[in-house]
Amino acid sequence: MRVLVVSHLYPAPGYERHLFLHEQLVALRRLGVEATVCSPTPLAPRVLWFRSRWRRFGSKPRRAIRDGIEATYPRVVVLPRRALFSRSGDLFYLAMRRQLPAAAGQVDLIHTHQALPDGAATARMAARLGVPFVVTVHGRDVNAHLPAGGAVARRTVDTLSRAAAVVAVSGAVARRLAGYVDSDRLHVVPNGVIGGGRAVAPADFLGDKPLVLSVGYLIVSKGHATVLDALALLRDDHPGIEYAIVGEGACEAELRRQADRLGLAPRVHFLGRLTHDDVLRMMARADLLVLPSAPEGFGLVYAEAMGQGTPVVACRGEGPQDFVTDGVSGYLVPPRDARALANAMARAFGDPDERRRMGEAGSAAVAGLTWDRSAALLLAVYEQVIAETRSETTS
């Protein structure tokens, strides 16, 4: 089976984000799938390289091979401030169409990640090649694009309706797609844990001080501000808790100001972006991973922390609920509820034995979240789509 994967999220040398996409392809390759990748990348003139984000885009190669998987990174014009975002798929298609001649007759199926913009471009590409396409929804389509309404929502719905199958990465995402995708085309395929949940040596960070860790983009929905409010509520009973934040984003300055206002600044550590291996070491070092993120499509960072034996706190009703059982393998709290979050953290730090048991239960809970399992489920979707397409063609 020959599959073309389309995703602007796919990692590149020097741009080691979203490694889960590569891990899934490596596992599919073990099952006999021949996969190539097209990863549209924002056009980044050197004049913009003074900003790290644009420098990373501009530094991406045009082509790379990793673990035997070839990826191309065609440049695409991205309009500022998401202008005309509903038409962004057309810009992606213009960037990718040069690959059509090479792909003709060489692809059985296209798998794209995110309905807009990648899926909208893929729908046009698949129609030109005469092959079906599958779209995986990780969260942004249901959490941002569909609620946005207007042209963005209409283009998202149109893309989902044209896909031969839609894959949701969690039960939460599937529930949010239920009103837009027929049940016979909707499949849940959870991600795996990068590195297979291998245990790593803890980071040497702040000795043995009690440590809460958050890993994620510094954006409002991730809930870092709620963690700071919860830590302020815990100040009297647990004055020694340190808080490490891994990630970067638009909210960093405001979070620093909030920590200062709450008198927490000396105990809040902004570590910026770290390599994946260093993130795992920080997870192994932490006493608790806390990220009250809502909405949250899957929540790979929770699964990775649990794989290190570190208890987690996540939001009820979101993606992590598929593998976090409240009070058993972690804690689930309502979103944006600092008091409930503080109570969960106080319970964890007040009972080291419970924290240890919860870490062990969490590690066991994510043991089944392997990329081999994810790939097997996805391959079954591919096979069903191809069989149905061939049946329609011959009937």
d(CA 19, CA 194): 8
CA distances from 186 to 32, 136, 148 (A): 24, 10, 22
Is the separation of the CB atoms in 189 and 373 below 8 Å? no
Q: With beta carbons less than 8 A apart as the criterion, state whether 336 and 223 touch.
A: yes
Regarding whether 187 and 50 lie in a shared domain, the answer is yes
Q: Tell me whether the omega of the peptide bond preceding residue 61 falls within 30 degrees of 0, making it cis.
A: no
Residues 29, 59 within the same domain: yes
- CA–centroid distance for 19 within its chain: 9
Asked whether residue 129 falls in the same domain as residue 220, the answer is no
CA distance 135 to 309: 33
* 164, 270: one domain: no
- Check residue 57 and give its pLDDT: 87
Residue type, position 50, single letter: F
Question: How far is residue 105 from each of residues 34, 91, 278, 371, 379, measured CA to CA in Å?
Answer: 14, 24, 43, 29, 20
Are residues 313 and 350 located together in one domain of the fold? yes
Rounded Cα distance between 293 and 314, Å, is 7
- If asked whether residues 182 and 202 sit together in one domain, one would say no
Residue in the structure block whose two tokens are 């900003």: 51
pLDDT at position 162, please? 97
Give pLDDT, residue 82: 81
Encoding tokens for residue 234? 């815990």
DSSP string, 235-264: TTT-TT-EEEEE---TTHHHHHHHHHHTT-
CA distance 308 to 269: 21
The span from the CA of 47 to the CA of 32, in Å, is 44
In this structure, what CATH number is given to the domain that contains residue 310?
3.40.50.2000
Q: How many domains does the chain contain in total?
A: 2
Domain region containing 97? 2-192+370-394
pTM summary value: 0.89
The helix/strand/coil state of 326 is strand
SS3 276: helix
The span from the CA of 236 to the CA of 369, in Å, is: 39
Of all helices (H) and strands (E), which one includes residue 166? strand 165-168
Do 215 and 247 contact (CB within 8 A), yes or no? Answer: yes
Residues 202, 274: one domain? yes
The answer to whether the bond into 295 is cis (omega within 30° of 0) is yes
H-run or E-run covering 336? none
Query: What six digits make up the tokens of 261?
Result: 């206002």
Per-residue pLDDT tens listing for the chain (395 residues): 999 999 999 999 877 778 899 999 999 999 999 999 999 999 988 888 888 888 888 889 999 999 999 999 999 998 887 888 999 999 999 999 888 878 888 999 999 999 999 999 999 999 999 999 999 999 999 999 999 999 999 999 999 999 999 999 999 999 999 999 999 999 999 999 876 567 899 999 999 999 999 999 999 999 999 999 999 999 999 999 999 999 999 999 999 999 999 999 999 999 999 998 999 999 999 999 999 999 999 999 999 999 999 999 999 999 999 999 999 999 999 999 999 999 999 999 999 999 999 999 999 999 989 999 999 999 999 999 999 998 887 76
Whole-angstrom distance, CA of residue 252 vs CA of residue 272: 9
Q: Based on the fold, state whether residues 137 and 23 are members of the same structural domain.
A: yes
What's 199's DSSP letter?
A: -
Burial of residue 388 (CB within 10 Å: 0-12, 13-18, 19+) is middle
Shared-domain flag, residues 90 and 150: yes
How far does Cα 360 stand from its chain's mean position? 24
Residues 245 and 130 in one domain: no
> What is the four-CA torsion angle of 74, 30, 367, 305, rounded to 10 degrees?
-30
On whether both 378 and 344 belong to a single domain, the answer is no
Q: Are 375 and 22 in contact (CB under 8 A)?
A: no
Domain shared by 360 and 374, yes or no: no
Beta bridge partners of 169: none
pLDDT at 195: 63
